[in-house]
């Protein structure tokens, strides 16, 4: 995720309790919690769902809306949120 002005995305993600969070085959990295990693069998929906969960938790905890740093191609995955 992009760093919001005046803060770091990784810090907000960590503060929201998302370090190590798993959704399907995707996980928020334990080493750098602004990285979403494939545990081996993650689908696009797993990655997108995990990212949207992180965004929601950060928004609820801090009021900050994280913005995806990646450029999505295609339609959003069903059931990703």
C-alpha distances out from residue 18 to 14, 31, 38, 75, 78, Å: 6, 12, 16, 25, 22
Res 22: pLDDT: 98
State residue 81's pLDDT score. 52
| Predicted structure pTM score | 0.87
pLDDT of 70: 84
Specify the CATH class of 9-62 in words: alpha beta
pLDDT by residue (tens digit) across 2-50? 999 999 999 999 999 999 999 999 999 999 999 999 999 999 999 999 9
Q: How many CB atoms lie within 10 A of CB 60?
A: 9
The 3-class secondary structure across the chain, one letter per residue, is: CCCCCCCCHHHHHHHCCCCCCEECCEEECCCCCCCEEECCCCCHHHHHHHHHHHHHHHHHHHCCCCCCCCCCCCCCCCCCC
């Amino acid at each position: 995720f992009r760093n919001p002005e005046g803060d770091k995305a990784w810090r907000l993600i960590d503060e929201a309790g998302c370090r190590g969070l798993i959704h399907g085959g995707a996980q928020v990295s334990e080493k750098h919690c602004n990285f979403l990693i494939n545990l081996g069998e993650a689908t696009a929906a797993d990655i997108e769902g995990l990212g949207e969960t992180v965004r929601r938790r950060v928004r609820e905890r801090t009021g900050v809306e994280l913005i995806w740093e990646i450029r999505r191609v295609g339609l959003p995955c069903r059931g990703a949120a």
